[in-house]
Structure 1
Amino acid sequence: MSKNGLATLLIWLTAALVSTVFVWLLADIIRHGLPRLSWSFLVEAPQNAGRSGGIGPIIVSTALILLVAIATAAPLGLATAVLLTEFTRHDGAFGRLVRRSLDVLAGVPSIVFGLFGNALFCIYLGLGFSILSGGLTLACMVLPILIRTAEEGLRAVPDDYRLAAAALGMSRNAALVHLLLPAAMPALVAGLMLGIGRAGAETAALIFTSGYVDRLPDSLFDSGRALSVHIYDLSMNVAGGDASAYSSALVLILLLLIINGIAMGLAKQWLHRSISL
């Protein structure tokens, strides 16, 4: 077998192994979680420490936390990526410092972000254990992923786009909105999905910021339990809570798939609108 054939075989085997692990995990969650999944499970409040009842308030809290995180991190991440790509020199001291800082932040354990969020948002800013504190902490966590992915996507756009826009007399802002961002849209969507995935599955940081309360929140300043925290609590602290934990994990996966689908749909719509303009 030639080297190219061997490399192709290894790539296919690796892809098959990853797909097999994913299918096995998903099948196990569906097998254990589907029997308890029902409309009442989705809308009712937890009872008996989560062994019975549903996860209605927890779904609402999770959606609000993710909304705060993405609404905060997405514009900041995109603006920083544009700054690093279009308005600073790639080999400049400022750009190198920011990129190195982002690389370090991307590798910081989530528990450290949780302690940071507790100290800054909960205590110093006086937000307490709240959905807002949890969402802002998750925004800090996903910012490095969003910025680096968006930056690489914008940097991958050929310079011919920028030169052609300048030759046609387009301003830098117009070129950015109508040419560069649409061309980099796949990378931007990929970064957004990675950020949503990490934020949705986060547990340690939310324990220290959003709290454990499983009732329906009245506002962003109320404490709320995320699905990941609920799954952790049922699995580790509640005897007989495995069935509800599996069903909650299945709901979390479905929720992330729905959010990712909405993000892809909005990105395609914005891309078509930018091209038509």
Structure 2
Amino acid sequence: MRDRPFDILLWCIALGVLGLFLWLLGDLAALGLGQLSWDFIATAPENAGRTGGIAPILVSTLLILGVAIGVAAPVGLGAAIWLAEFTRAGSLVGQRTRLALDLLAGMPSIVFGLFGNAFFSVFLGLGFSILSGGLTLAAMILPIFIRSVETGIAGVNDDWRRGAAALGMTRAAALAHILLPAAAPAIGAGLMLGIGRAAAETAALIFTSGYVDRMPESLADSGRALAIHIYDLSMNVTGGDANAAASALVLVALVAFVNLLAITLSRRWLTRKFAT
């Protein structure tokens, strides 16, 4: 009986969050569902986005996310392994690194955008391009991803490490076959958090990937992401609200699909590793 009020409170909070999400989704669906069709997905925008579709914008978004995940995943995984397994407990370097990551995780996205513009676009000469946008988003994903994976690896029971050492396994083999599979849920969670933040990013991409809504021919081309397209239609284009809502529904579906893909891959990796 003492736990009943607490259980009721938790259920109310969970249902409140779910209700808020369904309300927002329903509002978007009411405004933009009529615009969704294969032509909307497969054609280019026309008349400043009031008509036409989002094909080049969707391609640009996928390319930007691909660059961001392709860079952030291996770099973040390596950094997390170093923090969890190769730094001593209480190490000053480790503490400073974790503090820096925590500060970067809470940094406003506009700061990352200014950094990406100054470093990737100007200093490295990449200009307004998909590559600049993807690298900037990778910098945004890294702090969250590193800390999530580090926590997952550090949370693996030390008995597993001692057992691997007793069997004569190298640290690399223990990481590959025991620790990383055990931390697969944390890796998936880190990817989901990072992807969720990156896919809906606007401020950072305005300064790096640009506004151009044509079909990109390479990573060096400028490209407009879905989040920027939604912002532009809502704030700057009269009569663009319906297409903005339809684009938002596509963005929600894209984020949900990528998150489900990350969960599925991490679970399959976990199952396959422990089954063998």
Shorter-chain TM range is: over 0.9
2: CA distance, partners of 1:215 / 1:206: 16
1: CA distance, partners of 2:267 / 2:85: 23
Give the C-alpha shift of residue 221 in structure 1.
0.3
**Partner residue in 1 for 2:197:** 198
Q: Give aligned pairs, total.
A: 276
**How is 1:42-81 mapped onto 2 (pairs within 5 angstroms)?**
42-81=41-80
**Partner residue in 2 for 1:37:** 36
Give the C-alpha shift of residue 34 in structure 1.
1.1
Matching residue's letter, 2:237: V
1: CA distance, partners of 2:223 / 2:238: 22
Matching residue's letter, 1:189: G
Q: What TM-score, normalized by structure 2, do the two folds share?
A: 0.98
Matching residue's letter, 1:20: G
**How is 1:1-277 mapped onto 2 (pairs within 5 angstroms)?**
2-277=1-276
Tell me if the contact between 1:127 and 1:133 (Cα under 8 Å) persists in the aligned partners: yes
Give the C-alpha shift of residue 46 in structure 1.
0.4
Question: 3-state DSSP class of the match of 1:219?
Answer: coil
Structure 1's unaligned 5+ residue stretches are: none
Matching residue's letter, 1:21: L
Q: What TM-score, normalized by structure 1, do the two folds share?
A: 0.97
| Deviation digits for residues 61-120 of structure 1 (CA, Å, limit 9, x no counterpart) | 000000000000011111111000001113110110000000110111000100000000
2: CA distance, partners of 1:180 / 1:251: 36
Give the C-alpha shift of residue 3 in structure 1.
4.0
2: CA distance, partners of 1:90 / 1:131: 40
2: CA distance, partners of 1:177 / 1:247: 43
Tell me if the contact between 2:61 and 2:226 (Cα under 8 Å) persists in the aligned partners: yes
Question: 3-state DSSP class of the match of 1:91?
Answer: coil
Identity of aligned residues (%): 62
2: CA distance, partners of 1:242 / 1:116: 31
Question: 3-state DSSP class of the match of 1:216?
Answer: coil
Tell me if the contact between 1:84 and 1:90 (Cα under 8 Å) persists in the aligned partners: no
| Deviation digits for residues 145-164 of structure 1 (CA, Å, limit 9, x no counterpart) | 00000011111111011011
Tell me if the contact between 1:61 and 1:131 (Cα under 8 Å) persists in the aligned partners: yes
Tell me if the contact between 1:113 and 1:137 (Cα under 8 Å) persists in the aligned partners: yes
